[in-house]
Chains A and B, each alone.
Chain A
Amino acid sequence: EIVLTQSPGTLSLSPGERATLSCRASQSVSSSYLAWYQQKPGQAPRLLIYGASSRATGTPDRFSGSGSGTEFTLTISRLEPEDFAVYYCQQYGTSLMYTFGQGTKLEIK
């Protein structure tokens, strides 16, 4: 089973700053099958990025995904107040299972 480890656990930044969130896999993951989600309190998660770097419908272009193999990154180029939330990475692998990372909380500094 592939384990996804996200870092940092909490990231404290100010609006306007750049955020870099990391997702590391215990084994190589197909880039086609790596996704990122945003979750705000009391809401369901929302798909942001799929295929490691493709923005989902409605995802602002300040969000970008990159990476391959075991290292993936979600970058928010310039933080807006509505971006402060918890972010999860997720993979779908040869075992046909979904696994999620434990999440990174992006909080206002």
Chain B
Amino acid sequence: QVQLQESGPGLVKPSQTLSLTCTVSGGSVTSGDYYWSWIRQHPGRGLEWIGYIYYSGITYYNPSLKSRIAISLDTSKNQFSLKLISVTAADTAVYYCAGGYSSVDYWGQGTLVTVSS
């Protein structure tokens, strides 16, 4: 059973960079079975797909965020990471890391990131 756990700061200042890491257990980020995704949920709102990375390093991003995001793999630590630059209050959300292919089969518990000075 694949398990995922997000980690990173819960508070980020406006204009700075949000950085989160997802540690995968019970599976490998080098597996071709899954895309490794980041998905967020603004308070009281629905789900927004941010992007995903494949084991080969290929990435796909939400066009609305593409200019500000980067997702990367660290195969030595079985982790993948999200960087979101130039954050504003609108980026305050619960951020989930997830794994799946056409559906999202596995989800982390989510981590709340607040953008505030």
User: Using Cβ atoms and an 8 Å threshold, which residues of chain B touch A92?
Assistant: 101-103
| Neighbour of A33 across the interface among B37, B102, B110, CB < 8 A | B102
Cβ contact of B102, chosen from A1, A44, A50, cutoff 8 A: A50
Complex: A47 Cα to B39 Cα, angstroms: 14
By a CB distance below 8 angstroms, the chain B residues around A102 are 46
Tell me the residues in window 62-114 of chain B with beta carbons closer than 8 Å to chain A beta carbons.
62-63, 96, 100-105, 107-110
Interface residues on A, range: 20 to 34
Interface of A is mostly: mixed
Q: Quick one: which of A71-102 are within 8 Å of B by CB?
A: 88, 90, 92, 96-102
Instruction: Specify which chain A residues have a CB less than 8 angstroms from the CB of B102 in the assembled complex.
Output: 32-33, 35, 50-51, 92
Q: Are B63 and A1 in contact (CB under 8 A)?
A: yes
**Interchain CB contact under 8 A, B103 and A46:** no
Contact of A35 with B104 at beta-carbon distance under 8 Å, contacts A45-B47, A88-B47, A100-B48 already known: yes
Contact: B110 with A98, CB < 8 Å? no
Tell me the smallest distance from the CB of B6 to a CB of chain A, in Å: 10
Residues of chain A touching chain B, judged by Cβ–Cβ distance below 8 Å, are 1, 32-33, 35, 37, 43-47, 50-51, 56, 88, 90, 92, 96-103
6 A-B pairs with the lowest CB-CB distances in the bound complex, closest first: A35-B103, A44-B107, A98-B49, A50-B103, A92-B102, A100-B47
